Chains A and B, each alone.
Chain A
Amino acid sequence: MTDLRKPPDVRRVLTVVAVGGAAGAAARYGASLLWPDAPGTFPWTTFGVNAVGCALMGVLMVLITPARTTPVHPLVRPFLATGVLGGFTTFSTYAVDSERLLDGGRVRTGLMYLALTPLTALAAVWAATVLTRRAVARRREAGGR
């Protein structure tokens, strides 16, 4: 039995973060192959990946951090949040794509992408958090956990 109150060994955390990060990055790479972003246009795929990743983060953090009677396994957060979702979403591609658009004379598209991504990301985290909290509360009232 794993003691759920004891912080896990760093090497085990690093391992699950690496595996989760690789899985998340593979999903992002897959999305970029399925829906490639043409240079000089609004990078919808990266935009969508980051928005979806932020929404999932909002859901996950409500599910694993509230005052629960049964604590989750200590490797769940490093694997899913730091690993999978951290590897799936990307800030560097966002920054470089914005720079490429602005530097390439696509100033309006670049500025729109630059501003719209953080606004959408924050709205996604917020909406997912609120909706998940509501769903959890309703389940508790209905006699769930």
Chain B
Amino acid sequence: MNWLCVLAGAAIGAPLRYLTDRGMRARFGAAFPWGTFAVNVAGSFVLGVVTGVAGAASPHTQLFLGTGLCGALTTYSTFGYETSLLAEGRMPFAAVANVVGSVAAGLGAAFLGVTCAEALWG
């Protein structure tokens, strides 16, 4: 059952990441990886909420939403690869901005998610 929760969550999270990336590319172009940035920040917020509610969510819900959905919605490999593309494309500023921006925004989103959850359910 635990495995099923992870598989089901990931089977939703990964296509959601693909669709977000497509949508962001269509809207903002492909010069900067806004799609990956958006899913990583959004996923960090949701996982922050899931972590913050801790006791209020069943272990299965945590595996489905946290390990499965948020885990597959967000990605480190594409983030790393896209950053290397920016660096190779002689856009060092954009590469650094992508790393610093993603890390700062992801950390902030995680903090916000935990704080919101603790305020609402804590």
- Chain A residues within CB distance 8 Å of chain B: 13-14, 17-22, 24-26, 28-29, 32, 50, 53-54, 56-58, 61, 78, 81-83, 85-96, 98-100, 102-103, 114, 117-118, 121-122, 124-126, 129
Query: Among the listed A61, A78, A87, A118, which residue makes an inter-chain contact with B71, where contact means beta carbons less than 8 Å apart?
Result: A87
The answer to whether A114 touches B77, judged by C-beta atoms less than 8 angstroms apart, is no
Provide a sorted-by-A list of 6 A–B residue pairs whose CB atoms are within 8 angstroms: A21-B15, A22-B7, A89-B75, A103-B111, A118-B99, A124-B80
The answer to whether B10 touches A122, judged by C-beta atoms less than 8 angstroms apart, is no
Cα-based distance from A50 to B80 in the complex (angstroms): 10
Query: Among the listed B67, B84, B110, which residue makes an inter-chain contact with A126, where contact means beta carbons less than 8 Å apart?
Result: B84
- Tell me if B53 counts as interface (CB < 8 A to partner A): no
CB distance from A112 to the nearest CB of B (A): 13
The answer to whether B75 touches A91, judged by C-beta atoms less than 8 angstroms apart, is yes
Which chain A residues border B47 with CB–CB below 8 Å? 92-93, 95-96
Q: How large is the interface on B (under 10, 10 to 19, 20 to 34, 35 or more residues)?
A: 35 or more
Contact residues, B1-35 vs A (CB, 8 A): 2-3, 6-15, 17-19
CB distance from A105 to the nearest CB of B (A): 15
- Chain B residues within CB distance 8 Å of chain A: 2-3, 6-15, 17-19, 40, 43-44, 46-48, 51, 63, 66-68, 70-81, 83-84, 99, 102-103, 106-107, 109-111, 113-114
Known contacts A14-B19, A92-B47; 19 additional CB pairs below 8 A are A17-B15, A20-B14, A21-B11, A24-B14, A25-B10, A81-B81, A86-B78, A89-B76, A90-B75, A92-B46, A92-B71, A93-B66, A95-B47, A95-B48, A95-B109, A96-B51, A121-B76, A125-B77, A125-B83
Which chain B residues border A85 with CB–CB below 8 Å? 75, 77-78
The answer to whether B15 touches A18, judged by C-beta atoms less than 8 angstroms apart, is yes
* Interface SS of A by simple majority: helix
Cα-based distance from A17 to B80 in the complex (angstroms): 19
Given A22-B7, A57-B81, A92-B44, answer yes or no on A28-B107 (Cβ-Cβ < 8 Å). Answer: no
Query: Among the listed A17, A96, A99, A118, which residue makes an inter-chain contact with B14, where contact means beta carbons less than 8 Å apart?
Result: A17
CB distance from B59 to the nearest CB of A (A): 13
The answer to whether A14 touches B107, judged by C-beta atoms less than 8 angstroms apart, is no
